[in-house]
Amino acid sequence: MTVSPTKNDSKNAGPWLVLLLAGAFEVGYALSVGGSEGFTVLGWSISAFVFFLLTLFCLSVALKAIDVGIGYAVWAGIGAVGAALLGPVFFHESLTQVRAVWLAVIIGGVVWLKLADSPKLEAQKATAESGATPAPEWSP
Amino acid sequence: MSWLYLGIAVIFEVAVGLFASKANGFMRLWWTIATLVSGAIATFFLSLALLTFDIGVGYAIWTSVAGVGIVIVGALFLDQRLNWKKALGILIVIGGVVGLQLSGAA
């Protein structure tokens, strides 16, 4: 059992906090876009614009330290779950049981999809399968 | 009509995903501008779709189907491999959207 050489990444909590923040901003973005009613309501429209920039900025900062697939999965999951839960709080909407189940399927699907697209998880799996040291993967 | 708006919003969100990966943490100006413009168009059409869809529903469909689109475009045009895991994720998302629609909960 060998210890893999680079384990210091993603140990730092900072990027994860920024990622959670990006997720929260994404929820704010979703609610604001809905509340803007086709960008005819000024307050919600401005709020949508601000959240749009904030979520993009925080996500891009977080993804410099966190694997892209994992980062997107967490971010998209927070955004979609948050929008589904808070939509009924802020607006005249309802989250019925049937709807909650199907939304869970959809959100679970996209989180799975983002994780499947993770370069880091793929690399770890490849390393585990080959058993030995990670072989450098370049073509001549 | 609301599905059409949502479809247009999805297409531009797929573009956002592809452009953002080219923008390299927003260090490259033109890809960054392309990302922001696509994002603005996607947002506008999403807001039109959300006039009909509830936010939680419209948003989940939008972001998830865009995720599917990004993987499919990557596999078709960008030499990214489409393994069984990604294919399963695509099926789950599509199954969920179809189920949501058929159950009348959309």
Token digits for A51? Answer: 């959240």
| ipTM score for this prediction | 0.91
pLDDT category at B1 given cuts 50, 70, 90 is confident
The torsion of the CA quartet A11, A15, A16, A21, rounded to 10 degrees, works out to 170
B105 and A CB contact within 8 Å: yes
Beta-carbon neighbour count of residue B36 at 10 Å? 18
Say whether A112 and B100 touch across the interface (CB within 8 A): no
B55 and A CB contact within 8 Å: yes
Q: Which of B40, B46, B92 sits opposite A105 (nearest CB)?
A: B92
What is the per-residue DSSP string for B40-104?
A: HHHHHHHHHHTTTS-HHHHHHHHHHHHHHHHHHHHHHHS-----HHHHHHHHHHHHHHHHHHHTT
Helix H segments across A36-96?
42-62, 68-90
pTM of this prediction? 0.86
pLDDT of B105 over the 90 cut: no
pLDDT at B21: 81
Give B104 or A32, the one with higher predicted confidence.
A32
The H or E element that residue A96 is part of is: none
Which residue stretches of chain A have pLDDT < 50? 1-8, 10, 135, 138-140
pLDDT digits (tens, 9 = 90+) for A28-62: 999 999 999 999 999 999 999 999 999 999 998 99
The answer to whether the CB of B72 falls within 8 A of the CB of A117 is no
What residues does each domain of chain A span?
Answer: 14-130
Beta-carbon neighbour count of residue B77 at 10 Å? 9
Mutate which: B2, B45, B63, vs A, most A CBs within 10 A: B63
Say whether A52 and B43 touch across the interface (CB within 8 A): yes
pLDDT digits (tens, 9 = 90+) for B58-86: 999 999 999 999 999 988 988 888 889 99
Mutate which: B8, B36, B93, B103, vs A, most A CBs within 10 A: B93
pLDDT at A129: 65
pLDDT at A130: 65
φ/ψ region of A14 (left if φ > 0, alpha if ψ in -120 to 50, else beta) reads alpha
Say whether B54 and A48 touch across the interface (CB within 8 A): no
Q: Which of B47, B95, B100 sits opposite A36 (nearest CB)?
A: B47
Distance (Å) from the C-alpha of residue B104 to the closest C-alpha of chain A?
9
pLDDT of B47 over the 50 cut: yes
Say whether B103 and A102 touch across the interface (CB within 8 A): yes
Taking CA atoms, B33 is separated from A37, A54, B43, in Å, by: 25, 16, 15
Q: Which of A93, A107, A116 sits opposite B86 (nearest CB)?
A: A116
Say whether B43 and A95 touch across the interface (CB within 8 A): no
Range of lowest pLDDT (A8-12, B21-25, B31-35, B58-62): A8-12
Say whether B60 and A80 touch across the interface (CB within 8 A): yes
